[in-house]
Structure 1
Amino acid sequence: MIRGVKELKPDEEISHTECEFWKWLSRKAQNLSLYQNFEELGRWYEKIHDIAKQVVTLH
């Protein structure tokens, strides 16, 4: 369980494209893409999800 919000098992996919933040970001992409670091934010956010998957596996 992460922060008491959802219990995850190591074999469950933790997709960065299915979470609420990513959905919001995708809806705002047209406006936010004007910022030079917008694409980098997406790459970092995907890395966060990769790390979360490792944490669940190790837990």
Structure 2
Amino acid sequence: MKIFKAGDLDKYKTNYVYAIMYNWGQSDYIEREKRLLTESERKEVNRQLINDMKLESDL
């Protein structure tokens, strides 16, 4: 937790840019759709990730 709060793990943060949909096939997953997120989707998804990370650091 000390390392996380110090920001030493920030290099591992993710910035999502794609929306990908997979479906289960007969014995494996099959990629059905892959597209770039819109700017508003990117902001929403990545803002939620940052908020979730802040909640975890408060524990």
The alignment's TM-score, normalised by the length of structure 2, stands at: 0.45
Q: Which is bigger in relative contact order (C-alpha 8 A, separation at least 6)?
A: 1
| Structure holding more helix per residue | 1
TM-score by length of 1: 0.45
Name the structure with the higher strand share. Answer: 2
Larger Rg: 2
